[in-house]
Structures are given as C-alpha cells and as structure tokens.
Amino acid sequence: MAKRIVINIEPGNKPAAGRKSRRWPRILALLAIVVVVVIGLAVVGGFFWWRHYQSTPAYSLTLLVDAAQRGDVEEFAKRIDDEEIARNMAALVSKKASSRYGFPTNAATQQKIDQAMPALLPRLKQTVHEEVAKEIKNLASVSEPKPFILLLVTVPSLVKITTEGDIAKAASAVANSSFELTMRRDADRWKVTGFNNDAVVQRVVDSMMKDLPAIGSVDSVDPLLKNLGKPRKKRGR
C-alpha cells in the first residue's frame, strides 16, 4: 500500500523562525520613530532655549565683548548708552573732583562745580565711552581673542550677573579688570547704562580737572579760604 505525504499549509502552523523574522522590521521601525521624535524634541527645545538665552544680559554682554575684540565701533555703540552712563557718572566725578582742591569744600563751592558739569557732559560722555571700551577690551584680552561660539561659554565665567526685573548688574570676576556694569533691558537685548570702576573714575576726573573752576575762582566764593588768607592779628603782650 502506497504512503501518502500530507503537507499542512494553514497559517497557524508556520515555522516559528518565520514569525520572528517578521517582528524585527516592526521593532526597528518603532525604534526609528522614537529616535526621530527624541531628536525633534531636542531640536525644538534647543531652539526655544537659544531664543530665551538671546534675551539674557549674558548674551548682550557677549555681543559687547565680541564687538570690542573685533574693533567693531558701530556694534559696540549699540550695546551701551553713553548719554546715561555719563549722567550717572557726572555726580560721582563732581564729588571726586571737589576733593582734588585740597581743602574741605562748602555748599557754594560744590554748587559751582556741579554747575560746570552740564557743559562738560559731551566731553565726559566721550571720555567715559573710551574708558568703558578699554575695560571691556581688557576683559576680552584675558586670553587670545576667541570665536563668538567660544565667547558664549567663556564670558559668563568672567562676570557675575544678577538680574532684578529689567535691571541687571554684571561684576567682573577677573583680577586685572575689576568693574561693575549696570544694564537695562532694551527690547529683546540689554544695554549698558552704568559703569563703576574707581581707577576709571580717577582717570576721568584727571582729564576733567582742567575744565573745572580754577582754585582762584573758588577762593572768591569760599569764606573758609578768605579767612585763611587774612593775616592773623598779633595778640597784645
């Protein structure tokens, strides 16, 4: 009697190896989708982080340092408010200048010096601009000039920035360039509106002294000096 060979072709009885081979493409496709989603989220997150960082004082200060390094006068001027810096420094310069006369000044003498300051503001503004640029260049030249991408990393480590509302303070943490900047929010950037450095103030006062009232003109309104100039009466014996 002849033997019959029966082959079962129903789907449920396919070999296990065939089922496993079909699972791998699905798993790989799922992994690819996950990777694409993660990369997409990272790109979107990075974009929004970058947009936020561009609105911080640190980024504006980096632009300022970069402009100073490259000698870009126009870009540097966009980042500082010379007018406000000069006005903020005028009172300090006036006070420091009065101490240069070598005697205690009274209210009339101080008023005379203060009255001379408005006429000196244009020159004060130019002097302050040059001094600020010099200090920023000193900050930038702590090491060799860097590409902008590296400045984004190094500048925040060179200054300590504190922010309160629309005002920020940036204090230099570099030994040979110690100063403090005041910055104010300006649209989506920040602009320097104040500069504080004792050495710079002294240099500004030095440059302004010859334009301030001479000692002779101060003497005429200072009763103290008038009294000092009078000869003393000899006491009778």
Q: Side chain identity at 201, as an amino acid letter? A: V
Say if 229 falls within a structural domain: no
Say if 110 falls within a structural domain: yes
- Within 10 angstroms of residue 12's Cβ, the number of other Cβ atoms is 5
pLDDT tens per residue across span 59-96: 999 999 888 888 888 889 888 998 888 888 777 777 77
**Predicted local distance difference test score (pLDDT) of residue 167:** 95
- Whether the Cβ atoms of residue 218 and residue 104 lie closer than 8 Å to each other: no
More confident residue, 124 or 192: 192
46 and 119: one domain? Answer: no
Query: Taking the alpha carbons of 88, 92, 98, 101 in that order, is the dihedral positive or negative?
Result: negative
32 and 86: one domain? Answer: no
Say if 226 falls within a structural domain: no
- Give the three-state DSSP class for 137: helix
pLDDT at 191 over 90: yes
Give the pLDDT band (50/70/90) at residue 220: very low
What are the angstrom distances between the C-alpha of 87 and each of 91, 108, 170, 195, 200?
7, 21, 19, 11, 15
47 and 65: one domain? Answer: no
**Predicted local distance difference test score (pLDDT) of residue 104:** 56
62 and 118: one domain? Answer: yes
Report the predicted TM-score, pTM, of the whole model to 2 decimal places: 0.67
Q: Which tokens in the block code for residue 126?
A: 């130019």
**Mean pLDDT across the stretch 145-149?**
81
pLDDT tens per residue across span 99-111: 666 555 566 666 7
Query: Taking the alpha carbons of 171, 177, 178, 183 in that order, is the dihedral positive or negative?
Result: negative
- Whether the Cβ atoms of residue 132 and residue 195 lie closer than 8 Å to each other: yes
189 and 77: one domain? Answer: yes
- Whether the Cβ atoms of residue 113 and residue 100 lie closer than 8 Å to each other: no
What are the angstrom distances between the C-alpha of 206 and each of 96, 133, 211, 216?
10, 18, 10, 19
104 and 180: one domain? Answer: yes
More confident residue, 92 or 141: 92
pLDDT tens per residue across span 14-69: 555 555 567 788 888 889 999 999 999 999 999 999 999 999 999 999 999 888 88
43 and 120: one domain? Answer: no
Instruction: List the domain range (segments joined by +) for residue 193.
Output: 57-219
Residue 48 and residue 94: Cα distance in Å, rounded? 46
Q: Tell me how many domains the chain contains.
A: 2
Q: Which of 18-32, 121-135, 208-222 reaches the highest mean pLDDT? A: 121-135
137 and 160: one domain? Answer: yes
Say if 13 falls within a structural domain: no
Instruction: Point out the domain boundary residue: 29, 53, 77.
Output: 53
**Predicted local distance difference test score (pLDDT) of residue 197:** 83
Burial 115-143 (b: 16+ CB within 10 A, else e): eebeebeeebbebbbebbbebbebbbeee
